Amino acid sequence: MSTLDEFADAKLDQLEARRLRRTLRETWRTERVRAERDGRALVSFCCNDYLGLSHHADVKRAAIAATEAFGAGAGASRLVTGNHPLYRDLETRLARLKGAERACVFGSGYLANIGVIPSLAGADDLIVMDALSHASTHAGARLAGARVEAFAHNDTDHCRHILREARAGHRRCLVLTEGVFSMDGDRAPLAALAELAAEYDAWLMVDDAHGFGVLGAGRGASFETDPAPAIALHMGTLSKALGAYGGFVAASARVIELIETRARSLIYSTGLPPAVIASALAALDVIAAEPERCARPLAHARAFTARLDLAPAASQIVPLLVGEAERALMASAALEDRGYLVTAIRPPTVPDGTARLRVTFSAEHTADDVAGLADAVREIGLADG
């Protein structure tokens, strides 16, 4: 055995002992919210396909047509081979939805965050971010080489304290948060953070991966209020509510021009396959034609929390905290035995002692699906209602 294998074995044994080892399980997403695993039909409540568009007939047809017209792959970075025409159409529509001058599409949401943040902040700058921001946001902040300060989750007073103490000593400042937090399902106080950013001459960037397509009539979390708060940088994904793949940032035209020439994760990554771009465009068409589809995930989540006498859901994501990793795995297995696919989320994705089941709701769930899961959750002892 090589020393590399010895290293891997030791690490895997340590993870297994703490019930933190991850394994890939073959799972067939059949249609809508149905899945098949180990020969068993399941109703999935763990997918980010919030509008059920990855299997929508129009979206699939668009992907097939784009492959026929433009080929299977992009061939190289967009800055090398150039854009195929679908990119222009998609970025124009994304910018319009976000009320921005322009947008730039990346290979994924992770690539967007690790590309945009270092493009705008450097060694003499300050980044102030919510402590529960996504791993890609933390990675982007580290790559920037700026001073990074985290404020307690959704605590605007703590954010203000950091800005008051540290802002004056730095050239530029980014404030980073999320529209909907992916593991807790709660929303950021965007209006208050926008006011703080304006007061301290900071640029507010909102990762709205889980709000885009669902909240604000599909436009995202920042459009839940009128007027919408002033946000300098809107980040989102194409891989969740739109059912495709990729990420994007929307901002002023000059900022996007700067990102296009500085974001290493854009410059040095192959462009998205044409089929993926076409899928996202078709998904936007469905959203425009069926606005009621955007409202259903949150409605289902609130029906679920009401049935279990839980606090009303703030988004289509409802966490059921169980504490230890072993208990989360057991609860997930118990629900799978009852026909429901709900994944256990464990550290380091969430803090120690906060392992949970992360329940996500789709427009394609039925009222019976939601009621059945709630009853199963109560049956296995995860709710006292």
As annotated, the active-site residues are 48, 134, 178, 182, 207, 210, 240
CA distance 334 to 379: 10
CA distance 366 to 347: 31
CA distances to 141, 156, 189, 316 from 195, in Å: 22, 10, 10, 27
Packing angle, helices 190-199 and 156-166, rounded to 10: 10
Sequence letter at residue 202: A
CA distance 101 to 259: 14
Whose tokens are 């769930």? That residue is 365
The alpha-helical segments, DSSP class H, found in the chain are 3-17, 57-70, 78-81, 85-97, 109-120, 135-144, 156-166, 190-199, 253-262, 264-267, 274-289, 291-307, 325-337, 367-379
